[in-house]
Amino acid sequence: MKAMPWNWTCLLSHLLMVGMGSSTLLPRQPPPPSPKRSFVTFRGEPAEGFNHLVVDERTGHIYLGAVNRIYKLSSDLKVLVTHQTGPDEDNPKCYPPRIVQTCNEPLTTTNNVNKMLLIDYKENRLIACGSLYQGICKLLRLEDLFKLGEPFHKKEHYLSGVNESGSVFGVIVSYSNLDDKLFIATAVDGKPEYFPTISSRKLTKNSEADGMFAYVFHDEFVASMIKIPSDTFTVIPDFDIYYVYGFSSGNFVYFLTLQPEMVSPPGSTTKEQVYTSKLVRLCKEDTAFNSYVEVPIGCERSGVEYRLLQAAYLSKAGAVLARTLGVRPEDDLLFTVFSKGQKRKMKSLDESALCIFILKQINDRIKERLQSCYRGEGTLDLAWLKVKDIPCSSALLTIDDNFCGLDMNAPLGVSEMVRGIPVFTEDRDRMTSVIAYVYKNHSLAFVGTKSGKLKKILLHKHISCSAHQLLLGECDADQLPSRGDPKKPHGRGAVKREPKAPPQPEAPRGGIKLPHPPPRTLLFTSPGEDFQISMGGPRL
């Protein structure tokens, strides 16, 4: 991997965001310019790039996944511990990796790009997965980053062979008296025979246990995974599923994705490749993945279609917005950023929209689709997994909100797109990231833009919003994504590089996250910087 030609820096800023008015789209008077501020600075190694960021909600400690290193930082960005993860001798064509058996491919010194960083609160450890050795993971003690385990001797221990940062997404499902589960979603980079695109794994209490990362269930015919069939690549040679966000809610785990598909334009008999944003849902307790359902999602405003998902974040509705939407304040809302169109995945258009989905409405649509399929109506409608149309089979059974599927009519696709509620659009400076929270019963969102601006958006009772822009000065906050459970937000740092085919969707490459309560600061990463800024709520 080519070394980065600049220094990577962490900054601590104390910029107070100006509150917004409550009735106009933009403030009537621009805020006075902020005085120049001094910064507390942390500099990493010159060749490093920041990839992922997680905050311990109990202590406020920050864990930063970088190229060849994992950092533990204090809440004021002082380095507490450093753990080196690379570089090492490797070759991406070595499968199994050369640490398991001799590899005939030439070995070169290779950087270890952090691809997934999760806090396992139950066992007080950090799960850090890298790009070396087909995606092997380390389990590190939170206190001092001591290596508790690094399983590598089984096929299940290799989570992803894709070297791009951000290609792996994980969601932990915790249990009080049982071992936890880790749902893993990853692009496969044309190697479906080695890596499932989505799977559930065991998180054993013992970090060195033989069963760590083993599939939750696996026999000769069924396993807790879904693989992309080889036939799919005959239709779309560069097919892959790009995972943008993931979370758990209620009895389900969700992933938001971008997928290529072939469609015929209106009035044409030829097909062209476009990209469709889809939500994937699985039951937490489904070991055979019979509950797999995916739903296309998008947004439309004033006749303009926004279909390319850039970022997403799960938050609660809050009392004020809940009254408008007809939901409860504690109901889940999915805040999403889409760019215009469907075709330009690598270079998204600047037009973008912030949209809200009510999670219950998506679940209701899935339930309707399940009910119709079990009445024998339509086909399974999942082109990438079932290359040919397979009709739904009729069965007499009750399908309620928590139905987890059978070994028939599965996996299942929904053909009709679920449309979000557009609340804010930007025509010139594409929004690339989002985070949201409830402040004094009001829903407040922060979005990052391509040019390095941070927009603070207050959602009003009529589903309109006020926005205040904060320019991040010399800090290039290009693309600031948000990840993970809203209670334990996950971020992703940035590595500036030209995308290779097939790339990740042009999605945020920084990280926004709320530190542990009270939420008075906003912590985020940009290409080369981590910084923390004061986060004021709306003036109510």
User: What is the pLDDT, as a whole number, of residue 278?
Assistant: 97
Which three-class secondary structure state does DSSP give residue 265? coil
User: What is the pLDDT, as a whole number, of residue 105?
Assistant: 92
C-alpha to C-alpha distances, 14 to 59, 72, 73, 170, 456, nearest whole angstrom = 20, 21, 18, 32, 16
Residue 95 tokens, joined: 């499968």
72 part of a folded domain: yes
Sign of CA dihedral 370, 372, 375, 380: negative
452 part of a folded domain: yes
Residue 357 tokens, joined: 């989905």
The C-alpha torsion from 495 through 500 and 503 to 508, rounded to 10°, is: 20
User: What is the pLDDT, as a whole number, of residue 98?
Assistant: 78
203 part of a folded domain: yes
Residue 377 tokens, joined: 């109506």
Q: Are 258 and 275 in contact (CB under 8 A)?
A: yes
User: What is the pLDDT, as a whole number, of residue 86?
Assistant: 92
Region at 364 (left for phi over 0; alpha for psi -120 to 50; beta for the rest): alpha
Give the residue ranges of the chain where pLDDT is below 50: 1-28, 472-510, 516-519, 533-535, 540
Which three-class secondary structure state does DSSP give residue 58? coil
pTM (2 d.p.):
0.84
CATH number, residue 424: 2.130.10.10
Phi, psi (degrees; rounded to nearest 5) at 359? -60, -35
Please state, in angstroms and rounded to a whole number, the distance separating the CA atoms of residues 353 and 303. 13
C-alpha to C-alpha distances, 252 to 136, 206, 290, 369, nearest whole angstrom = 27, 26, 13, 17
Q: Are 306 and 299 in contact (CB under 8 A)?
A: yes
Half-sphere exposure of 126 (CA within 13 A, CB side): 29
64 part of a folded domain: yes
Q: Are 426 and 351 in contact (CB under 8 A)?
A: yes
C-alpha to C-alpha distances, 137 to 54, 127, 324, 497, nearest whole angstrom = 16, 7, 45, 24
The distance from CA 174 to its chain's CA centroid, rounded to whole angstroms, is: 19
When divided into structural domains, the chain yields a total of 1
122 part of a folded domain: yes
Region at 202 (left for phi over 0; alpha for psi -120 to 50; beta for the rest): beta
Query: By residue range, what is the domain housing residue 133?
Result: 9-17+37-534
Q: Are strands 490-492 and 511-513 parallel, antiparallel or unpaired?
A: unpaired
Alpha helices by DSSP H, listed for 326-423, are 359-373
Please state, in angstroms and rounded to a whole number, the distance separating the CA atoms of residues 77 and 83. 16
DSSP code per residue over 456-515: EEEE-TTS-EEEEEEE-TTS-------BS-TTS-EEE--------SSPPPS---SEEE--
Please name every residue paired with 435 in a beta bridge, in sequence order, or none if there are none.
Answer: 446
Only one residue has tokens 């040679």, namely 237
Alpha helices by DSSP H, listed for 313-427, are 319-325, 359-373
Nearest residue to 432 via CA among 331, 313, 254, 534:
313
User: What is the pLDDT, as a whole number, of residue 523?
Assistant: 61
User: What is the pLDDT, as a whole number, of residue 502?
Assistant: 36
Query: Which residues are CB-contacts of 96 (< 8 A; sequence separation ≥ 6)?
Result: 134, 155, 158
Geometric angle at alpha carbon 513, from 511 and 516, rounded to 5°:
150
Please name every residue paired with 340 in a beta bridge, in sequence order, or none if there are none.
Answer: 306
The answer to whether the peptide bond before residue 96 is cis (omega within 30 degrees of 0) is yes
46 part of a folded domain: yes
